Amino acid sequence: MSSASAVLKRQSSDFRASQQSAPSRIVVQPVTPVIGAEISNVDLRKPIDAETAAEIQAALHKWRVVFFRDQDISNDQLKAFGRAFGPLTPAHPISDGLEEHPEIWERKVAEYRTRRTDNDASVPRARPPRDYKGWHIDITFVANPNRYSILHGVEIPPYGGDTLFTNLIAAYEGLSPPIQKLIDGLQAVHQTTSYDAGERKPRRDGRSTGPFVSLHPLVRVHPETGEKLVFLNPGTVSHIVGLKERESQALLDLLYGEITRPEYQARLRWAPNSLVVWDNQAVAHAGPIDYAHFSLGRTVRRITVAGDLPTGPDGFRSRALEGELFNVLG
């Protein structure tokens, strides 16, 4: 036997051995070169082992948002999946979760229709944050926003209700070095809006529902990958600290235009039992983007994996200016 065929034979038997002994691995199919991947060959009705969780996490850190299909899971299975990545928070700082599942935030489309539109100037607001067509990072009005968000499609209409995601790391890397340098040392104030802050009674667990105001670095260092990102939440940022109002507004407008460039985006077309995990430390999202235009039923359930205080390139750590840190349930 030639040495080449011996090697081939050995490789082939190694391959068969690995096929027999290794559990089936997830399959990761990117949906754009910049953001988003679909993950298959995993059944989330069953507990996932540490190795599978690590593979999903690696895909998440590479692609920023990952989509799963046909995951007909219960509320308990949804929570078990989330806990594979760390302790869970309650459903939301200013809203209660499901009575039996305080970690799960259920959203029905009718609730979205009550939201203001970006053209609605009729609601008086003391310090209006910018409402850029629904783009936001989850719950940055608290100083410790969640690390990952996980959303399960329960009732999904045949069309409409898509969710958009944008890569905030790509947005930072696309800026010119002088602008990167300018924003590296800045901080922004994030706060609950008048929409959030209506008539709020305490949560079922007795905790205050705000108002919340927090100071965050405008550029965040991703705690797992070390990459820098534009930590701009159009939905909650009122202003950049230390700048004149026109300077703050102009810089926010510039950055908003950058983070919402189409080439940094992926779009999820939902189907029943689609499930999405996004790295809330790396993306902003908007959705359902067309809720004002359709009347079909849509129900999704969200859980959130607890996060740390964001850190800037200069070591600045986020802090609460008003309201408590978001608590953790485990």
Positions touching Fe ion (CB under 5 A) are 138
* Count of CB atoms situated within 10 Å of the CB of 73: 20
Nearer to Fe ion, 291 or 316 (CB): 291
Q: Is 302 designated active site?
A: yes
Cβ 65 to Fe ion, closest distance in Å? 12
Nearer to Fe ion, 219 or 284 (CB): 284
Nearer to Fe ion, 217 or 235 (CB): 235
Strand partners, 285: 136, 165
Catalytic hit among 107, 285, 298, 301: 285
Q: What's the CA gap between 99 and 198, in Å, rounded?
A: 22
Catalytic hit among 138, 152, 220, 301: 138
Q: Is 14 designated active site?
A: no
Cβ 252 to Fe ion, closest distance in Å? 19
Which tokens sit at 162? 């898509």
Q: Is 70 designated active site?
A: no
Cβ-closest residue to Fe ion? 138
Which tokens sit at 301? 């359930």
Cβ 165 to Fe ion, closest distance in Å? 10
Cβ 302 to Fe ion, closest distance in Å? 8
From start to end of 36-87, where are the E strands? 37-40, 65-68
Tell me the torsion sign for CA atoms 272, 277, 280, 282: negative
Cβ 13 to Fe ion, closest distance in Å? 50
Nearer to Fe ion, 186 or 301 (CB): 301
From start to end of the chain, where are the E strands? 27-30, 37-40, 65-68, 105-108, 148-155, 163-167, 187-191, 213-217, 219-221, 228-230, 237-240, 265-268, 275-279, 283-286, 299-305, 319-322
Cβ 145 to Fe ion, closest distance in Å? 11
Nearer to Fe ion, 131 or 138 (CB): 138
The interaxial angle of helices 245-259 and 177-184, nearest 10 deg, is 120
Beta-strand pair 148-155/275-279: antiparallel
Catalytic hit among 136, 216, 239, 298: 136
Nearer to Fe ion, 28 or 91 (CB): 91
**Phi and psi angles of residue 58, each rounded to the nearest 5 degrees, phi first:** -65, -40
Q: Is 285 designated active site?
A: yes
Given a contact cutoff of 8 angstroms between Cβ atoms, the answer to whether 35 and 63 are in contact is yes
Which is nearest to 196 in space by CA: 256, 248, 103, 126? 126
Q: Which residues are identified as catalytic?
A: 136, 138, 285, 302
